[in-house]
Amino acid sequence: MIHFQQAQDHHLADLVALLADDPLGSAREDPSVPLDPGYVEAFDAITADTNQLLVVALLDQTVVGTLHLSFIPGLALMGAWRGQIESVRIRRDHRDAGLGQAMIEWALERCREKGCRIVQLTSDKSRAEAHRFYERLGFEATHEGYKLRL
């Protein structure tokens, strides 16, 4: 039985492992345990902020997916709240089973509850399969996504 909820401390190592098990993530994450303190500090910052929702997908208590949802107030669009989705991952052995779609739809429902009028995300241009996935769900690639490393 799939269940989505806010991540708890004891999910953190599994979440980092999910982020690392990815063509792009493998070069920039370190899933070794004990976890780098940067992950623990980030987890604490996320869970302390009521506008951040770190989501975990659980299949019989096993972590099989994650995404990070941020609620962002803004003046634009007549003062619309935005939902923003980052760091979407489904465990390698649980893909193509509708789990990703169910997780995004669960996140969209949280956005509706919060009163968001727009939801946004960016996806690396190399992730062609992800793009088809988001387009099937109704997202439109209307924008260029710019990044700058400091």
Residue 137 is given by DSSP the state T
Among 43, 55, 90, 91, binds its own copies (CB under 8 A): 43
Q: At CA 145, angle to CA 72 and CA 136, rounded to 5?
A: 85
Q: Interface with its own copies by CB under 8 A: which range of 56-64, 95-103, 119-127? A: 119-127
Using CB under 8 A as the binding rule, whether residue 90 contacts its own copies is answered as no
Using CB under 8 A as the binding rule, whether residue 28 contacts its own copies is answered as yes
Q: At what angle do helices 37-47 and 12-20 cross, to 10 degrees?
A: 110
Structure tokens, 105: 């739809």
Structure tokens, 100: 């990703």
Name the strand (E) or helix (H) holding 42.
Answer: helix 37-47
Which CB atom, from 98 or from 105, has the smaller least distance to its own copies?
A: 105
Using CB under 8 A as the binding rule, whether residue 140 contacts its own copies is answered as yes
Distance of alpha carbon 84 from alpha carbon 145, whole angstroms: 13
3-state SS assignment for residue 130: helix
Distance of alpha carbon 141 from alpha carbon 97, whole angstroms: 24
Using CB under 8 A as the binding rule, whether residue 150 contacts its own copies is answered as yes
* CB 103 to its own copies: min, Å: 15
Among 3, 26, 33, 49, binds its own copies (CB under 8 A): 49
* CB 1 to its own copies: min, Å: 25
Binding site for its own copies (CB under 8 A): 15-16, 19, 25, 28-30, 36, 38-43, 45-46, 49, 51-52, 54, 68, 70, 72-81, 83-84, 86-87, 108, 111-112, 116-125, 131, 134, 137-150
